[in-house]
Amino acid sequence: MKTIDRIPTSKIGRAGKMLKTGLKVGRNYAGYYGSKLLQSNVDREDLDQKNAEDIMNSLQELKGGGLKVAQMLSMEKSLLPKAYTDQFSLAQFSVPPLSAPLVRKTFRKYLGKSPEDIFDSFDYEASFAASIGQVHCAVLDGKKLAIKIQYPGVGESIKSDLAMLKPMASRLLGLNLDDAEKYFGEVQSKLIEETNYLLELKNSQDLTEACSGIAGFSFPNYYPELSTDKIITMDWVEGMHLPQYLKMNLTKENRDDLGQNIWNLFMFQIHKLRKVHADPHPGNILIKEDGDICILDFGCVKEVPNEFYDPYFKLTQPGIIDRPEEFRAVLHQLEILYADDSEEEANYYYDLFHEVLSLLLRPYQSDTWDFSNVSYFDEITSVGERMAKETLMSKYKVNRGSEHFIYINRTFFGLYQLMHMIGAEIQVPYALD
């Protein structure tokens, strides 16, 4: 894969790159509308494809917050054209890595030495590259290690990058830019946390220690003495990433057990620890040769405050969604309904969220739920697309929902998709005792 020798780190340099991309997108639109004047059957998908590629190419060069937001938006398949979700999903798996000279420069800056002066061997070819950092393999005293290196400048540019992306993201998600600051503030604070590798190191150690007694899981050791705020050193874990593992000849029982174990681990974190790994995508899950599951990358950890936890999970109680007074009270607690809503406005959002939540909470209403059910996910996509269109066209322009929805919903959406990918039938409600 092509490597990158330089990443723009100044606000002016990064803004200039985004401006050039904007001009490319503008030319694409001009070409599209010019062609439409001559031919009535010009395909809009070609325009979407060109724009998505140009935007993604720019974000891959810049790395950081913009690329992370693209990764998050790739999961919103009901909001974006397929060309965009396909391109943005590359932020999880296919990002050009840093070149060897830039890796060496990063090591010298943050650890004071080149990799070959620290380790017995170090592979300058990145094993994995994502939105904020990349991983290299090294050996020290006979132990194989994974070294995660943060891209230069991404931590310092989070605020300015998001400021440039706010207008586009607001249009895509149907947000009122004037009162959407709490949502952007939540995303910004989590992205800043993800670029603080000392915080990630602490989260990794705390959560893996808390989960270490759960059967069927194992976690790497971390090495603070070989870590800084831009570099993390941990054990190298041998295993197969989830998509590769699922290509094996697994029985239904294997798939059900795998799905149940992963689900239970995340529910343990949410319900017992009130702190959860909020990025459960397939690239963060390894299956070891002995069958143990290893969860990687604790950079995005979401704490669940009681004032959100209590009403959010009250919705999973049987029958509450069909008891109007209780359901309405929960919607107020979750900032979906407001005290100053007109009767018409309150009824509109009550009906809208009653329909959506009745669908999303369906797995909680039975003893087990089969996530291999394709029609269920088709229904989610259909309702999501219609809800997105209604929200964008709605005359009510007040943003709805607590900012805590962003990462908790991301966690559950990711888990639903994982269970669907695995084809697992599991027990969804989590036994708290």
pLDDT 10s digits, 171-221:
555 566 666 678 778 888 888 888 999 999 999 999 999 999 899 999 999
Q: How many CA atoms lie within 13 A of 397 on its CB side?
A: 7
Sole residue written with tokens 């409600």: 429
Helix (H, G, I), strand (E, B) or coil at 242: helix
Cα angle at 314 between 311 and 315, to 5 degrees?
100
Phi, psi of 301 (to 5 degrees): -120, 130
Length of the chain (residues):
433
Task: Give the count of beta carbons closer than 10 Å to the beta carbon of residue 112.
Answer: 10
Inter-residue contact 129 to 96 (CB < 8 Å): yes
The stretch 97-123 carries a mean pLDDT of 93
Residue 41 has pLDDT above 70, yes or no: no
Distance CA 400, CA 8 (A): 36
H helix runs in 122-277, sequence order: 158-173, 181-194, 197-211, 242-245, 252-268
What DSSP string runs through 78-136? TTS-HHHHHHHTHHHH--PPBPHHHHHHHHHHHHSS-HHHHSSEE--S-SEE-SSEEEE
User: Rounded to an integer, what distance in angstroms lies between the CA atom of residue 336 and that of residue 357?
Assistant: 12
Confidence band, pLDDT 50/70/90 cuts, at residue 20: low
Query: What is the distance between the alpha carbons of residues 126 and 228, in angstroms, rounded to a whole number?
Result: 19
Tell me the sheet residues that pair with 233: 147
Give the orientation angle of helix 65-73 with respect to helix 181-194, to 10 degrees: 120
Residue from 129, 176, 143 nearest 7 by CA: 129
pLDDT tens digits for range 226-236: 999 999 999 99
**Is residue 58 a contact partner of residue 91, using CB atoms and an 8 Å limit?**
no
Find out whether 115 and 135 touch, Cβ atoms under 8 Å.
Answer: no
DSSP 212: T
Provide the pairing of β-strand 293-295 with 285-287.
antiparallel
31 burial type by CB count under 10 A (0-12 exposed, 13-18 middle, 19+ buried) = middle
CA nearest neighbour of 300 among 193, 432, 217 = 193
Tell whether the model's pLDDT for residue 128 goes beyond 50: yes
Phi, psi angle pair for 4, to nearest 5°: -115, 130
Looking at residues 384-403, what average pLDDT do you find?
69
Q: What is the DSSP letter of 222?
A: B
- Looking at residue 191, its pLDDT comes to 85
162-173 mean pLDDT: 64
CB 308 within 8 A of CB 338: no
**Residues 321-335, mean pLDDT to the nearest whole number:** 96
What DSSP character marks residue 69?
H
Reading the block at residue 13, the tokens are 């340099």
Environment class of 41 (CB within 10 Å of its CB; exposed 0-12, middle 13-18, buried 19+): exposed
For the segment 348-365, what is each residue's pLDDT rounded down to a tens digit? 999 999 999 999 999 999
Q: What is the mean pLDDT of the chain?
A: 82
Question: Tens digit of pLDDT for each residue in 247-271?
Answer: 999 999 999 999 999 999 999 999 9
Between 226 and 162, the higher pLDDT residue: 226
Q: Is 366 within 8 Å of 427 (Cβ atoms)?
A: no
- Tell which residue, 172, 158, 168, 163, has the closest CA to residue 22: 168
pLDDT in tens, 73-101: 665 555 556 665 666 655 555 567 888 99
Nearest-angstrom CA–CA distance, 70 and 131:
9
Tokens of 116: 């070959």
Cβ atoms of 63 and 162 within 8 Å: the answer is: no
Beta-bridge mates of residue 145: 138, 235
Strands of the sheet containing 240-241, edge to edge, are: 240-241, 285-287, 293-295
